Structure 1
Amino acid sequence: MTIKHTLLATALFAVAVLLGALASTPARAEQGQNEENPATFAADEMTHDKELSIITARGHVEVNHGERTLLADSISYNQITDAIKAYGNVALHQPSGDILFADTMEITGDLKNGMADDLLAVMADRSRFAAKKATLVNDETMTMDRAIYSACEPCKDNPTRPLLWQLKAIKIVHDRTKKIITYKDVWLEVMGVPVVYTPYLSYPDPTVKRKSGFLTPNWGASSSLGSIIQAPYFYVLDDSSDITITPLITSQEYGAIHGEYREKFTKGEITAETSGAFDASSRAYGHIKSEARFDVDRTWRWGADLNRSSSDTYMRRYGYGNESSLTSQAFLEGFRGNTYTSFSTMAFQGLSASDDSRTSPLVLPVAQFNYTGDPDKYGAYNALDLNFTKLTRELGTDSTRISVRPSWNISHIAPKGDIYKLRASMGLDFFNAQELPVPQSRGSTYDGSALRPTPELEFDWSWPLARRNGTVTEVLEPIGQVIVSPYGGNSFKMANEDSQDFDFSDANVFSANRFTGYDRVESGPRANFGAKWSVTGDGGGSTSVLVGQSYRLKDDSTFNSGSGLENNFSDYVGKIDFSPQEGLNLLYRTRIDKDTLDFRRHEVAVSGTTSSIDYNANYVFFERQEGSEFSGRKEINYAVGGDLTDTWRARFNGVRDLSENGGQRSTGLSLIYEDECLEFSTQFSRTFYQDRDLRPTDAIMFRVLFKTLGEFSSSVNPS
Structure 2
Amino acid sequence: MTLRAFICFFVVLLSVSAHGASAQSETRATGVEKADPAILVADDVYLDGSEQLVATGNVEALYNGRRLYASEVIYDRTEERLIITGPIRIEEPDGQFFVLANSAALDREMNNGILRGARIVMDDQIQLAANEIARVNGRYNQLYKAAVTSCRVCKTGRPPLWQIRARRVVHDQQEKQLYFDDAQLRVLDTPILYLPRLRLPDPTLERSTGFLVPSIHNTSLLGFGVRVPYFIKIGDHKDLTLTPYLATETRTLEWRYRQAFYNGKIEFNGAFSDDDIGTDDSRAYVFAEGTFYLPRDFVLRFDIEAVSDDTYLLDYDYSQKDRLDSELEIERARRDEYIRGAITVFQTLRDGESNETLPTGVINGEYERRIPLTNALGGELRLGFEGHGHFRNSSLNTDGPDFDPFADGRDVARLTFSADWRRGWTLPAGVLAELKLGLSADFFRIQDAGVTSSSEESELTPEAAIQLRWPLVKTTQAGSTHIIEPVVQIAWVGGRNPFVPNDESTQIEFDEGNLFATSRFTAPDRRERGFSAAYGLSWSRYGVDGWQTSFAVGQVIRDELQTDPAGGAAFTNSSGLQDRYSDLLVAGQVKTVNGLTFTARGLFDEDLSTTKAEARASLINKVAQIGATYIWLRNDPAENRPGNVSEWAFDANYRISKHWSGQADWRYDVASDEPVRAGLGITYANECVDVTLSASRRFTSSTILEPTTDISLTVGLRGFTTKTRDKSYVRTCKN
The answer to whether residue 576 in structure 2 is matched with residue 564 in structure 1 is yes
Question: Which among 703, 706, 716 is matched to residue 717 of structure 2?
Answer: 706
Contact 1:328 1:347 in 2 (8 A): yes
Contact 1:341 1:369 in 2 (8 A): yes
Stretch deviating more after TM superposition (301-310 or 126-135): 301-310
Tell me which amino acid in the other structure corresponds to 1:432. Answer: R
Question: Which among 555, 559, 565 is matched to residue 553 of structure 1?
Answer: 559
SS of the equivalent of 1:161 reads coil
Q: Calculate the TM-score normalised by the size of structure 2.
A: 0.88
Q: How far did residue 582 of structure 1 move?
A: 4.3
Q: How far did residue 379 of structure 1 move?
A: 4.0
Q: Give the paired residue count.
A: 687
Residue 219 of structure 1 aligns with which residue?
A: 216
What are the equivalent positions in structure 2 for 1:99-118 lying under 5 Å apart?
99-118=98-117
Question: Which among 292, 295, 303 is matched to residue 294 of structure 1?
Answer: 292
Contact 1:363 1:389 in 2 (8 A): no
Spell out, residue by residue over 1:363-404, the C-alpha distance to the aligned partner (whole angstroms, 9 max, x if none). 453222211111435641111221122222122111121111
Relative to structure 1, the CA distance from residue 518 to residue 198 in structure 2 (aligned partners, 3 Å threshold; closer, same or farther) is same
Relative to structure 1, the CA distance from residue 363 to residue 459 in structure 2 (aligned partners, 3 Å threshold; closer, same or farther) is farther
Distance 1:569 1:707 in 2: 62
Q: How far did residue 531 of structure 1 move?
A: 0.9
Spell out, residue by residue over 1:225-253, the C-alpha distance to the aligned partner (whole angstroms, 9 max, x if none). 33333333322222211122223333334
What are the equivalent positions in structure 2 for 1:647-686 lying under 5 Å apart?
647-659=659-671, 661-686=672-697
What are the equivalent positions in structure 2 for 1:184-583 lying under 5 Å apart?
184-253=181-250, 255-280=251-276, 283-335=281-333, 338-363=336-361, 365-376=363-374, 379-395=378-394, 396-436=409-449, 444-446=451-453, 448-470=455-477, 471-486=479-494, 489-491=496-498, 493-556=499-562, 557-583=569-595
Residue 715 of structure 1 aligns with which residue?
A: none
Contact 1:39 1:109 in 2 (8 A): no
Distance 1:365 1:48 in 2: 85
Distance 1:108 1:175 in 2: 19
Tell me which amino acid in the other structure corresponds to 1:220. Answer: H
Residue 612 of structure 2 aligns with which residue?
A: 601
Relative to structure 1, the CA distance from residue 279 to residue 622 in structure 2 (aligned partners, 3 Å threshold; closer, same or farther) is same
What are the equivalent positions in structure 2 for 1:48-63 lying under 5 Å apart?
48-50=47-49, 53-63=51-61
Residue 160 of structure 1 aligns with which residue?
A: 157
Relative to structure 1, the CA distance from residue 344 to residue 613 in structure 2 (aligned partners, 3 Å threshold; closer, same or farther) is closer
Contact 2:289 2:304 in 1 (8 A): yes
Stretch deviating more after TM superposition (406-415 or 371-380): 371-380
Contact 2:475 2:482 in 1 (8 A): yes
Gap runs ≥5 in structure 2: 22-30, 395-408, 563-568, 723-735
Tell me which amino acid in the other structure corresponds to 1:453. Answer: L
The answer to whether residue 184 in structure 2 is matched with residue 176 in structure 1 is no
Distance 2:305 2:680 in 1: 32
Distance 1:516 1:413 in 2: 31
Q: How far did residue 129 of structure 1 move?
A: 1.2
Tell me which amino acid in the other structure corresponds to 1:472. Answer: S
Tell me which amino acid in the other structure corresponds to 1:230. Answer: R
Q: How far did residue 17 of structure 1 move?
A: 8.1
Contact 1:245 1:259 in 2 (8 A): yes
SS of the equivalent of 1:408 reads strand
Q: How far did residue 125 of structure 1 move?
A: 2.6
SS of the equivalent of 1:6 reads helix
Q: How far did residue 572 of structure 1 move?
A: 0.9
Q: How far did residue 494 of structure 1 move?
A: 0.9
SS of the equivalent of 2:700 reads coil
Residue 714 of structure 1 aligns with which residue?
A: none
Residue 137 of structure 1 aligns with which residue?
A: 136
Distance 1:298 1:381 in 2: 24
Contact 2:530 2:560 in 1 (8 A): yes
Contact 2:213 2:716 in 1 (8 A): no
Gap runs ≥5 in structure 1: 23-31, 438-443, 712-719
Relative to structure 1, the CA distance from residue 20 to residue 590 in structure 2 (aligned partners, 3 Å threshold; closer, same or farther) is closer
Tell me which amino acid in the other structure corresponds to 1:116. Answer: L
Tell me which amino acid in the other structure corresponds to 2:524. Answer: Y
Tell me which amino acid in the other structure corresponds to 1:683. Answer: S
Distance 2:40 2:104 in 1: 17
Q: Calculate the TM-score normalised by the size of structure 1.
A: 0.90
Contact 1:433 1:447 in 2 (8 A): yes
Distance 2:8 2:189 in 1: 49
Q: How far did residue 630 of structure 1 move?
A: 4.0
Q: How far did residue 111 of structure 1 move?
A: 1.3
Q: How far did residue 3 of structure 1 move?
A: 3.6
SS of the equivalent of 1:373 reads strand
Q: How far did residue 500 of structure 1 move?
A: 0.6
SS of the equivalent of 1:416 reads helix
Relative to structure 1, the CA distance from residue 219 to residue 614 in structure 2 (aligned partners, 3 Å threshold; closer, same or farther) is closer
Contact 2:489 2:534 in 1 (8 A): yes
Distance 2:334 2:658 in 1: 53
Residue 8 of structure 1 aligns with which residue?
A: 7
SS of the equivalent of 1:436 reads coil
SS of the equivalent of 1:529 reads strand
Tell me which amino acid in the other structure corresponds to 2:715. Answer: V
Relative to structure 1, the CA distance from residue 190 to residue 430 in structure 2 (aligned partners, 3 Å threshold; closer, same or farther) is same
SS of the equivalent of 1:565 reads coil
Spell out, residue by residue over 1:606-659, the C-alpha distance to the aligned partner (whole angstroms, 9 max, x if none). 112345333221111121234112454211112333222221122322111111
Distance 2:368 2:289 in 1: 26
Tell me which amino acid in the other structure corresponds to 2:135. Answer: L
Distance 2:581 2:335 in 1: 42
Contact 2:339 2:367 in 1 (8 A): yes
Spell out, residue by residue over 1:382-431, the C-alpha distance to the aligned partner (whole angstroms, 9 max, x if none). 11221122222122111121111211111111132111111111122112
Spell out, residue by residue over 1:188-207, the C-alpha distance to the aligned partner (whole angstroms, 9 max, x if none). 22222222222121111223
Q: How far did residue 352 of structure 1 move?
A: 0.9
Contact 2:493 2:518 in 1 (8 A): no
Q: How far did residue 13 of structure 1 move?
A: 5.2
Tell me which amino acid in the other structure corresponds to 2:419. Answer: P
> Identity over aligned residues, as a percent?
25
Relative to structure 1, the CA distance from residue 215 to residue 402 in structure 2 (aligned partners, 3 Å threshold; closer, same or farther) is same
SS of the equivalent of 1:433 reads strand
Question: Which among 57, 64, 67 is matched to residue 66 of structure 1?
Answer: 64
Contact 2:4 2:46 in 1 (8 A): no
